[in-house]
Structure 1
Amino acid sequence: MITLSRGRCGLSRCITYYLVAIAVSDFLVIITTVILNRIGRIYFRNSVLSTTPGCAVSIMLGFATRDGSVWLTVAFTIDRFIAICCQSLKTRYCTEKTALLVTGLICAISCVKNAPLYFVCRPLYIVDGVPWFCDRRPTYFTMPAWKAYDWLDRILTPFFPFFFILLLNVLTVRHILAASRARKRLRGAASHGDSELANRKRSIILLFAIALSFLLLWTTHVVHFFYVRIKGKGYFNSSDFSDPQYILQETGNMLQLVSSCNNVFIYAVAQTKFREELKSVLMWPFTGCVKRQQYTL
């Protein structure tokens, strides 16, 4: 986040806004889902995080930040598709104002969409009038409204995002290949060692890496969702960590969390100037100390 926000990576402000927003959303996923929901409730079992209200809030925020991370990636993919393939729309859509507006809408919709999850949770048990931990209400699996909400949640994340990411990336790659073939015909033998063609090849690899990583890291989570619906069983809470159903469920959760924090890493590290700027940021405390010592001497 610090490296991107400095604006020295050779990226336009529109791209920078999207990447910073994705990085912030990914960081919030780590805080809400990994630290508060997982680590907090496992290793600090008697804290406020383990009470039913605290647990419900952390679950709701975890899903909201997850959706925000995924859909910001979709928004950035749409922005890059328009910038590369739709030159007539580029000047109107690929702007700082649009990036800020889209980012704000996605964050707001993600919070509103996941607010009902707070009311899905019930206490696992009550001690001295204090409700502890969270369990899903049985009506979540029987009432048509909650069933529809559960299906809608999976359709919106990850089915629609993957469809958009895959479709737009395929169209973008096709456009890049067509432009590359035209450039080769124009340049002829001079196209050998063309830096522009090399950049386009790297762009193709980057786009496919995004789509494939999203698909692979969400597959286990989707498989478990269909298993729950087909078998008619609820989501699994168990103290037996060797239970196959529990392992499938938690593996899916782990991989989809990795996916939420993966795309901005792929985008950013693929940029040479970002890597150079990251090195300077990491080395800044040491170079600052050396300069101060030299100044003192």
Structure 2
Amino acid sequence: MSVADLLVIITGVLLRTVFVAFFPHSFVNLTPVCSITLVLAVAATLISVWFTVAFTLDRFLAICYQNVKAKYCTERTATVIMGIVSMVSCLISAPWYFTMSPEYNIDNIPWGCVYKLAFLNLTSWASFELLTFSLMAWFPFFFLLLLNSLTARHIIVSGRVRRGLRGRTAGDNDPEMENRRKSVVLLFCISGSFLLLWSTQVIYVLSERVFGTPYVKGSEFESVGFMLQVLSTCTNTAIYVLTQNKFREQMKRFLRYPIYLIVKLVKKMNAS
């Protein structure tokens, strides 16, 4: 998940935005190159989103179906699923290469990327764009909301049973129940953040393709939607990772280590 999110930043932000804006005459702005970076950015976004869905499914099975955890929640299964998701995402993203045309030519060399008129006008391309955004936003959100809701329901129901077995007084001071309540909040934060961060981009695409408003590349609304979309590929990984106790402990050790080296160096200097 972290590698996929990093690829989104590299392809979607650095190559397609920063380099094009600040280095307009670099090789990245050649039409074939920027067409390839568009394909890579779409593929990386699909991979990042569906890796999050796959991870959520893995947690759902591990929490709600303990009997299948040992069989399916394994490293081998995760490797196979990641390979399938990556391959399918690349295949779906490949047609985006043919949506671009040169913005201008210098010495018969095509520079810049603008959408072809066929992409803007043909119903087939509009359907393909809506399909891509459905796979990026609508379907993943549905699965995230469904899986997280079922997981939260299982946690709440099992918590009630546990509280009943232990007694109400014991349940109120039960650390396990507190961890389960935090898990429920975490799961709905993931679904909520995904919906909020993708909503601007979804509204933009719907307004352009479904309701027929003018397709204005580079508009402020599109820029905000793109920014939030890129941010959404990072939030879920951060939420999942930062809430893990082992990761927090390793982070504390990482932050304390430079201080430890400085203190050790000072003591050595004083001793000498």
Tell me which interval the TM-score lies in, with the shorter structure as reference length: over 0.9
Pair 1:33 & 2:6 matched: no
Residues paired across the two proteins, number? 269
**TM-score, structure 1 length as denominator?**
0.86
Please give the root-mean-square deviation of Cα atoms over the aligned residues, in Å: 1.7
Secondary structure of residue in 2 paired with 1:261: helix
Percent identical pairs in the alignment equals: 42
Pair 1:136 & 2:115 matched: yes
Please name the residue that 1:250 is paired with. 223
- Distance apart, 1:193 and its partner CA: 1.2
Structure 2 residue runs without a partner (length 5+): none
Runs of 4+ displaced beyond 6 Å: none
**TM-score, structure 2 length as denominator?**
0.93
2:84 to 86, 100, 105: 105
Closer/same/farther in 2, CA of residues 235 and 294 from structure 1, 3 Å limit: farther
Please name the residue that 2:199 is paired with. 219
Q: Distance in 1 between matches of 2:215 and 2:37?
A: 18
Pair 1:182 & 2:157 matched: no
Structure 1 residue runs without a partner (length 5+): 1-21, 239-245
- Distance apart, 1:156 and its partner CA: 1.0
Q: Distance in 2 between matches of 1:97 and 1:223?
A: 38
Pair 1:207 & 2:187 matched: yes
Secondary structure of residue in 2 paired with 1:45: coil
Please name the residue that 1:7 is paired with. none
Please name the residue that 1:85 is paired with. 64
Pair 1:95 & 2:74 matched: yes
Closer/same/farther in 2, CA of residues 111 and 282 from structure 1, 3 Å limit: farther
1:272 to 245, 248, 265: 245
Please name the residue that 1:3 is paired with. none
Whether contact under 8 Å (2:120, 2:215) holds in the other structure is: no
The one-letter code of the counterpart of 2:178 is A
The one-letter code of the counterpart of 1:277 is Q
Whether contact under 8 Å (2:141, 2:195) holds in the other structure is: yes
- Distance apart, 1:232 and its partner CA: 2.4
Secondary structure of residue in 2 paired with 1:237: coil
Within 5 Å, which residues of 2 pair with 1:39-118? 39-118=18-97
Within 5 Å, which residues of 2 pair with 1:141-160? 141-160=120-139
Whether contact under 8 Å (1:269, 1:275) holds in the other structure is: yes
The one-letter code of the counterpart of 1:139 is A
